[in-house]
């Protein structure tokens, strides 16, 4: 979808393990500016950057600040940008980062090294606010009962570990036939709140799109409905596919502005059986892409 070309300048907005950057660098003699808020990702990327001197540039920071980050680096236009939203495999597989209930670790969940931790949120936020977080960001139907259980438990002992929180959630949400762990939605919600992920996505998409040159492409991969909904709405609006005004609305007589982008995907692209078999974590991936057609 990115169709990298020699001499092009591309943004890897979620560097992670460097897979996207490596593929782009191998596909064309292009330049990559890669952003990640996780200091560990930047350290890991040093080896790849050494393989491509002057072609791969690593920047520590939030992709929601990419305009300022790239401006400071002297970058004013892009030929393509890619985002792979959500937590990285490196983060979720390290118990010390506190993202997963499958291995006990500190209740942290920060993608970067600063800010409020998940432990601070569950130990200090009010019951109603906790319930709202779990419902809005985790789409957890038992949000109120979980929030009540959290508040009751922390009255006698603060939460410190992922296993501790997961155990309390399991007293409220029982396993069902879906096979989804009872704590899955709650942990997703807390992670999103800790890292302000949805606000970052909104800012990152808009800023990346604003830097694309004519013919430049924006590709986004999402992993749950909240992310994909934001990407879908943004790309629909950018390509002029939002619903028009009613014919009874006076604004309907005004000329329609030409869209700056065109869609590259009809609906959403999902992984095939072979990809899911090779990489089970790809099973919920959703890809959408647009291309700038006007300056």
pLDDT digits (tens, 9 = 90+) for 176-205: 777 678 888 999 999 999 999 999 999 999
Residues of the chain predicted below pLDDT 70: 88, 90, 92-94, 96, 98-99, 179, 242-258, 295
Can you state the percent helix, strand and coil of the chain, rounding each to 5? 45, 15, 40
Q: Does residue 45 share a domain with residue 181?
A: no
Look at residue 145 and give its three-state secondary structure: helix
Q: How far apart are CA 228 and CA 242, in angstroms?
A: 16
Stated pTM of the model: 0.86
pLDDT digits (tens, 9 = 90+) for 269-283: 999 999 999 988 888
Q: Does residue 260 share a domain with residue 220?
A: yes
Rg from Cα positions in the chain: 21
The single-letter DSSP state of residue 44 is H
Q: What would the two tokens of residue 219 be? A: 């590709």
**Domains held by the chain: number:** 2
Give a yes or no: residue 91 inside a domain: no
User: What residues make up the domain containing 69?
Assistant: 9-84+197-292
| Residue with token string 């879906």 | 178
Burial-class residue 38 by CB neighbours within 10 Å (0-12, 13-18, 19+).
buried
Q: Binding site membership: which residues? A: 18-20, 36, 63, 84, 91
Q: Does residue 212 share a domain with residue 153?
A: no
Q: How far apart are CA 175 and CA 125, in angstroms?
A: 26
* End position of a domain, from candidates 195, 214, 230: 195
Q: Binding site membership for S-adenosyl-L-methionine: which residues? A: 18-20, 36, 63, 84, 91
Outline where DSSP puts E strands in 50-192.
56-60, 78-84
């Amino acid at each position: 979808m990115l169709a990298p070309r020699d001499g092009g300048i591309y943004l890897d907005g979620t560097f992670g393990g460097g897979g996207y950057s490596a593929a782009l660098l191998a596909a064309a003699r292009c330049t990559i500016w890669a952003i990640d808020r996780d200091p560990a990702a930047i350290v890991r990327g040093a080896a790849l950057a050494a393989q491509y001197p002057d072609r791969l540039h690593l920047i520590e920071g939030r992709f929601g600040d990419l305009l300022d980050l790239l401006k400071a680096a002297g970058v004013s236009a892009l030929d393509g940008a890619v985002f792979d939203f959500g937590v990285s495999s490196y983060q979720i597989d390290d118990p010390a980062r506190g993202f997963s209930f499958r291995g006990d670790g500190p209740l942290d969940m920060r993608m970067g090294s600063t800010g409020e931790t998940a432990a601070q949120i569950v130990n200090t936020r009010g019951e109603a606010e906790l319930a709202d977080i779990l419902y809005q960001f985790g789409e957890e139907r038992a949000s109120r009962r979980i929030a009540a259980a959290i508040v009751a438990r922390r009255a006698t002992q603060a939460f410190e570990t992922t296993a501790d929180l997961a155990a309390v959630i399991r007293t409220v949400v029982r396993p069902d036939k879906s096979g989804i762990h009872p704590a899955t939605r709650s942990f997703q919600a807390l992670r999103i709140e800790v890292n302000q992920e949805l606000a970052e996505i909104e800012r990152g998409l808009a800023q990346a799109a604003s830097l694309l040159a004519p013919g430049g492409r924006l590709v986004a991969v999402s992993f749950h409905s909240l992310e994909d909904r934001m990407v879908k709405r943004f790309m629909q609006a950018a390509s002029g596919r939002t619903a028009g005004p009613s014919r009874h609305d006076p604004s309907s007589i005004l000329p329609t502005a030409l869209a700056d982008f065109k869609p590259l995907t009809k609906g959403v692209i999902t992984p095939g059986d072979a990809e899911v078999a090779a990489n089970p974590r790809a099973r919920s991936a959703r890809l959408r892409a647009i291309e700038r057609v006007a300056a």
